[in-house]
A and B are shown apart, each in its own frame.
Chain A
Amino acid sequence: MKEEKLKINGIDTTLYKTDKYTTLHIELYFTLDYNTQDFYLLELLGDYMLATNKKYKTKEELLDLKYEMYSFDSYVNIVRYGKNIVFNLSFEIISPKLVKDEYFQRLLKEVHTLIFDANFTNALPDEKVFEKCKNGLIGNYESTNSDIHYIANTRFMKNAYPDTIVDKALLSASEYKDLINSFSGKEMHDLYKKLIGEKISEIILFGDFKDEYIKVLEKNLTFKNHNKKPLKYEFIKACPKSASITEKIDNVETNIFVLYTFEGLTRKEKLTLVTLSGILNFGGRLLHKLFREKLALVYSSYAEIKINAETLSIVGNINSKNKDKFLEGVDYLFNEVLNDKRIVEEAIENYLKHTRVSFITRDENKWTVLRDLTGKKLYDNFTIEEVYNHAKEVKHSDILSLIKKAKKTLCYTLEGEKNDERI
């Protein structure tokens, strides 16, 4: 794969050139300062842009276009990254070499329409489509909010980050409904203008792009201004109000989260944190061996890390009567298991095998490659290669040094009150 840096109409563009795959990818990244209002309004805007534009006014017409153009796909993904919003508009298209060359020209004209000719008249959207998009989002949010794991994770996060933007961003179904319904068409239009007019920050191209395709992109991605502000790497620190919080739910399963926080980790220590997560999870399977096999408490247990927030959570789905045993198990993990050199070194060895396989075979899945590259480019995430190289060097003493810095900050339990004996 060849990496080329160029500019398309003045916008920083990175081209990852490879002929290995059947598709080309065009990824547009727009960045804004975070606020909850804009975050959710962008969701609505994203849906609206994919549901209608000035040329193809209905979803049906857009679907016909999609299938006529060899199933080209467009996606919107919106993330909160620290105190930024990153709005990503992506296009996946079949490689023109598999169809015909002039297909790319035609397709990019349609991409231009989708981006620059959104369906607004007198600064207002099509009322029907606007309403449909709202209803769709509200319905989906209600549905997501009835999934127990989503509920448990949301409640944990709200309790781990109370009164912060993390807490405020996690809306209940009714709060979300009120917020989405409160948005006016004019507000959405104004945000659209702001987004397209000045917030594009980066373009990433992936696939077998010929030089003439770049000219076509220049012709169609006609952004006038762009956002040169770099992403703000300011991340919210966990700040729970109490070290132990229990909430109840009419559920069979109890979900339990034990949160550890770290302060001021170096880059190397952060990589060690990735290794620690790896040996607890799939690589070394230490959590499985402890909680499922030795203690027989769980069907599943996993470790989750947030590198930028410098946290590690141990999560278990258990029977409520085993809560204390689970918590004792977590202490045992940190005080005994992770202090055992033989156990940890064996786990690191196994984890290394996993990361080696991931590294060697990463190009066999284009999404793995694309996410690896864009993660590094945009968010300075660790690449598969970095993780693998670190795994080759990390020792038990590194794990020990790291866990000495770990502070148990919160035990959050969402206790299921349903008695499984009835079942």
Chain B
Amino acid sequence: MKEFNKKILKNGVTLYLYSDTNLKKTFASYSVKFGSSGIFNEFYYKGKKKTIPFGMAHFLEHTLIEQSRCGNMLHYFANEGYVTNGATYDELTSFYFFGIDNINSSIEKLIKMVDMPVFDEEAIEKVKPAVIEELNSRFDDKFSLINSNNYRNLFKSFELADKSNNVLGTSKDTKNFTYDMVKLAYDAYYNDENKILVIAGNIDEDEMLKFIEGIYEGIPKHPNNLKRIKHSNLMEIRKKDETIPFHIKGPSLAIRSYKFKNDKNIDNHKLSLYISIYNFLKFNSGTKFIEEMVLNKELIEFDYISDFLDDNIFLIRYIVEANDPKKVFEKLEHELNTENLSREKFELRKKSLMVQNIIKRDYIYNIFASFTYKLFFTEKLDEVDLIKSLNYDEMIDIISSLKFDTYSTSTVEYKE
């Protein structure tokens, strides 16, 4: 499978191009390294320390889309027959479309929507009602609440998530957003060096590059006056344990996140694969660990993910749905070792990951859509060679060196 072609443009924007004229659609996304995580709330702008409230990245996403120079950009792209949306993730805000016709003019509109905003005070007020409805709906979402709470409690030295446990902030704060706040966030974070443009599909790469460069010639430069704040004491935990009451009856949901520092500077992509294989070998649905707990009605769902953050910090997170998640975590603690990890099953798992890498090409647009989000640890689309290079002994070595002693647990449980 071929890879994206990467170019850093004169203005500092990072451009990724992928051409396949067998494809009928073209995918375009324009992203900014600014998301809902609290890691963005404090920063230096033009040498002065600034603070913005939670929810600002998401609010800005809505503002740029809904109050653009062409009206609501989603309507514009939808009118072209595109699949389109904007999304705010933890570390990224992304505006994208998939389409067939008028691609070049739409790419130009997409770039100008983001780079030449026209919002004013009146526009800010118009955006607020829908954003408030959206953030209110998050209070009915168990997983969203607990995820935010867990992130918040993992770090003492700064607020990774809001104390309301709502990743989008609160309606009270949103109602108080001013034009100056929104403009500040825009000016600081939407600088050219902080942007990533991805175009993939039925394109000619050379022509597209020329076209993109031409667009930026006509757009005012957005210099980088942002300095991110480096937090210290990143391994300190705010709270080891917290339970949040929830208003809808159902089983409890809990997340336990173990925090580590990648002192050995192992490549993040490789590390994430080793962690994923390790967790699979230990905790897949066929293991005795899981099956016994299901049999004893101690467990409903068990899942695991890894997260990679700035400053070489990574998390291994276990998500448990059960009537008593505490019991599950007690058992989990005894399993976090490298005992009973079969070399044969490691190789089988590797094989399956390679196969999945091949099968996913049957819908390549999914790969394009997730590309920017995965840039944190890889620019490669084809993982087959990396997977082939993984070896059992290295995995054992790495996992054995991990100390599962820095963690935080968040639980959501029903309370009448």
Chain A partners chain B? yes
Of A153-161, A362-370, A374-382, the segment with at least 4 beta carbons within 8 Å of chain B is A362-370
CB-nearest residue of chain A relative to B78?
A285
Q: Is B80's beta carbon under 8 Å from chain A?
A: yes
CB-nearest residue of chain A relative to B297?
A135
Pull 26 A–B residue pairs with CB atoms less than 8 Å apart, ordered by A.
A23-B362, A60-B288, A61-B286, A66-B352, A67-B348, A94-B355, A143-B301, A145-B249, A146-B249, A146-B414, A148-B248, A251-B140, A251-B247, A252-B139, A253-B137, A253-B140, A283-B78, A288-B75, A296-B129, A299-B133, A350-B78, A353-B79, A357-B25, A364-B363, A365-B365, A418-B139
CB-nearest residue of chain A relative to B170?
A423
Q: Is B262's beta carbon under 8 Å from chain A?
A: no
Q: Is B284's beta carbon under 8 Å from chain A?
A: yes
Q: Is A83's beta carbon under 8 Å from chain B?
A: no
Alpha-carbon gap, A77 to B303, bound state (A): 22
- Is A22 within 8 A of B362, CB to CB? yes
A399-423 interface bits toward B, Cβ cutoff 8 Å, 1 = contact, 0 = none: 0000000000000000010101101
Q: Is B6's beta carbon under 8 Å from chain A?
A: no
Alpha-carbon gap, A68 to B291, bound state (A): 21
Alpha-carbon gap, A146 to B300, bound state (A): 13
- Is B286 within 8 A of A62, CB to CB? yes
Q: Is A71's beta carbon under 8 Å from chain B?
A: yes
Q: A139-B251, A423-B172 are in contact. Are A357 and B164 (CB under 8 A)?
A: no
- Is B349 within 8 A of A135, CB to CB? no
B363 neighbours in A (Cβ, 8 Å): 364-367
Q: Number of A interface residues, CB 8 Å?
A: 67
- Is A356 within 8 A of B140, CB to CB? no
- Is A252 within 8 A of B136, CB to CB? yes
A179-212 interface bits toward B, Cβ cutoff 8 Å, 1 = contact, 0 = none: 0000000000000000000000000000000000
Q: Is B287's beta carbon under 8 Å from chain A?
A: yes
CB-nearest residue of chain A relative to B22?
A364
- Is A70 within 8 A of B352, CB to CB? yes
B137 neighbours in A (Cβ, 8 Å): 252-253, 299, 317
Alpha-carbon gap, A416 to B248, bound state (A): 11
CB under 8 Å from chain B, chain A span 231-254: 249-253
- Is B100 within 8 A of A250, CB to CB? no
A296 neighbours in B (Cβ, 8 Å): 126, 129-130
- Is A285 within 8 A of B75, CB to CB? yes
- Is A364 within 8 A of B365, CB to CB? yes
B103 to chain A, nearest CB (A): 12
- Is A360 within 8 A of B24, CB to CB? yes
A268 neighbours in B (Cβ, 8 Å): none
- Is A142 within 8 A of B294, CB to CB? no
- Is B139 within 8 A of A60, CB to CB? no
CB under 8 Å from chain A, chain B span 334-391: 345, 348-349, 351-352, 355-356, 358-359, 361-365
CB-nearest residue of chain A relative to B24?
A361
A interface SS class:
helix
- Is B362 within 8 A of A366, CB to CB? yes
- Is A298 within 8 A of B250, CB to CB? no
CB-nearest residue of chain B relative to A66?
B352
A283 neighbours in B (Cβ, 8 Å): 78
B355 neighbours in A (Cβ, 8 Å): 70-71, 94
Q: A252-B139, A360-B100, A367-B363 are in contact. Are A353 and B295 (CB under 8 A)?
A: no
Q: A354-B81, A360-B24, A423-B136 are in contact. Are A63 and B286 (CB under 8 A)?
A: yes
A402 to chain B, nearest CB (A): 23
- Is A132 within 8 A of B295, CB to CB? yes
Alpha-carbon gap, A89 to B307, bound state (A): 35
Q: Is A140's beta carbon under 8 Å from chain B?
A: yes
What 8 pairs across the A-B complex have the smallest Cβ distances? A146-B250, A353-B81, A139-B300, A60-B286, A59-B286, A299-B133, A299-B134, A296-B129
A62-101 interface bits toward B, Cβ cutoff 8 Å, 1 = contact, 0 = none: 1110111011000000000000000000000010001000
Alpha-carbon gap, A365 to B98, bound state (A): 13
Q: Is B166's beta carbon under 8 Å from chain A?
A: yes
Q: Is B72's beta carbon under 8 Å from chain A?
A: yes
- Is A423 within 8 A of B294, CB to CB? no
List 15 additional contacts besides A67-B351, A364-B24, A364-B364; criterion CB under 8 Å: A63-B284, A71-B356, A71-B359, A94-B358, A135-B297, A139-B251, A139-B300, A142-B300, A145-B250, A148-B141, A253-B137, A297-B133, A357-B81, A367-B363, A421-B172
